[in-house]
Copies of this chain bind each other. A is one copy, B any other.
């Protein structure tokens, strides 16, 4: 493989790749509003058809799921996961350029989806174009699974994957995103916590009652909710669900070593969030990094009951609700924690509190020692000044456990992000230098992966 030619191709064809990106960005595809999803899926299909990928398109009542595959020289298969839906562009007044129009300025391009995740789709295609231009054949089989509901909890993705494991068979997966850190060092994220996000609701009367009348005689929904929530977690942050910690795997020695090699976020977090200290008497450094990613949590994300406006309104609220985000670590399972939550509430006399699941993902992680991860990290050293730094687990969540549970393959992360890329925010953007590096890195991965044997 002549990587000089390949890199030259990527440099020379970046503008054509960005033209593809411009077409995708110009088609709003906001899954939260079900806006333009079918149209954007059409554009994605067209991009892959042009490269002689074999397309299967699966309709559902959310957004089409696209499988695009192309055979390569070896019998090894890489599966790329991407999505073509985007977050809403609001608040619009904070955008410096129109969000659905790709704008280039000073080495960056701006637009909703430029990074998350349309930019990564076309970036991967640029790498594939370069390999095909050089060799007329891909070094290994390549499959893409591209959905359109990632920004709204991937409702149809899980059932789809479970129903199509044969079709999706692969040897390794590259996840949708990746990024460099503030010093431009590329990161390899190997794990995501799981999540069980529920709404708890209680209704004690058919309408609010004047508190002069009802204060001492009518059950108050807000009090019910407060008392129920109070049983869930103690002031020392201990989560009281029965058996909640039974399946928790503590971080391994090597996880802690990887975390210790990352920059200390303490000063940055204190400044950014305006806090003087962290929970659990953590001062910073590896303790902070480990707590952030390796502890399961029970977070109240929202509370609502009765009157929120200015001044005094004297009522006994009939309804109260809370949004609760429970983050899970290996080997916890959201369906088991949901049962624990129901059991706990019932045991404490809160049978009247309804639970509605709004989001659910299992935790997932890939071993740093895995051959594919080693290959991804090693090849990054040819592109960046230093090879990727391992981040064994992050605090966030995502649907990667769906792939891992169904296919039992390693999942690497790789993409064009950087700390100021503003995914989900106004002025989302990518850096073109990183765009080129990421595409070049992908050509090395596919090339090396094609050479591997079982």
A314-356 residues at the B interface, CB under 8 angstroms: 314-318, 320-323, 325, 327, 349
> Are A218's CB and B327's CB within 8 A?
no
> Are B306's CB and A197's CB within 8 A?
no
Tell me which of A104-112, A275-283, A376-384 binds B. A275-283
Residues of B within 8 A of A220 (CB): 299-300
Interface string of A11-52 (1 = CB under 8 A from B): 000000000000000000000000000000000000000000
A214-244 residues at the B interface, CB under 8 angstroms: 214-220, 222-223, 225-227, 229-230, 233, 235, 237
Interface check A416, CB cutoff 8 A: no
Residues of B within 8 A of A226 (CB): 226, 229-230, 300, 303
If A212-B327, A212-B394, A312-B359 touch, whether A218 touches B302 (CB-CB below 8 Å) is: no
Chain B's closest residue to A357 (CB) is B312
Complex Cα distance A225/B349, Å?
Answer: 22
Complex Cα distance A311/B87, Å?
Answer: 14
Residues of B within 8 A of A210 (CB): 396
Interface check A206, CB cutoff 8 A: yes
Q: What's the minimum C-beta distance from A328 to chain B, rounded to whole angstroms?
A: 11
The contact of A197 among B152, B193, B312, B327, by CB within 8 Å, is B312
The contact of A303 among B288, B305, B313, by CB within 8 Å, is B305
Interface residues on A, range: 35 or more
Interface check A58, CB cutoff 8 A: no
If A226-B226, A227-B235 touch, whether A207 touches B301 (CB-CB below 8 Å) is: no
Chain B's closest residue to A394 (CB) is B212
Residues of B within 8 A of A322 (CB): 222
> Are A211's CB and B325's CB within 8 A?
yes
Residues of B within 8 A of A216 (CB): 237, 279-280, 291-292, 295-297, 327, 395
Residues of B within 8 A of A327 (CB): 211-212, 215-216
Chain B's closest residue to A230 (CB) is B230
Complex Cα distance A275/B207, Å?
Answer: 10
Which of A195, A222, A295 has most chain B Cβ within 10 Å? Answer: A222
Chain B's closest residue to A212 (CB) is B396
Complex Cα distance A158/B373, Å?
Answer: 74
Interface check A358, CB cutoff 8 A: yes
Residues of B within 8 A of A306 (CB): 300-303, 323
> Are B291's CB and A313's CB within 8 A?
no
Interface check A308, CB cutoff 8 A: yes
| 9 cross-chain CB contacts under 8 A | A206-B274, A207-B274, A209-B273, A213-B292, A216-B327, A219-B275, A222-B301, A301-B315, A312-B323
Q: A212-B327, A216-B237, A217-B279 are in contact. List 14 more A-B contacts (CB 8 A).
A: A205-B275, A206-B275, A219-B279, A220-B300, A223-B233, A227-B230, A235-B349, A274-B318, A303-B304, A303-B308, A303-B320, A312-B359, A314-B325, A314-B397
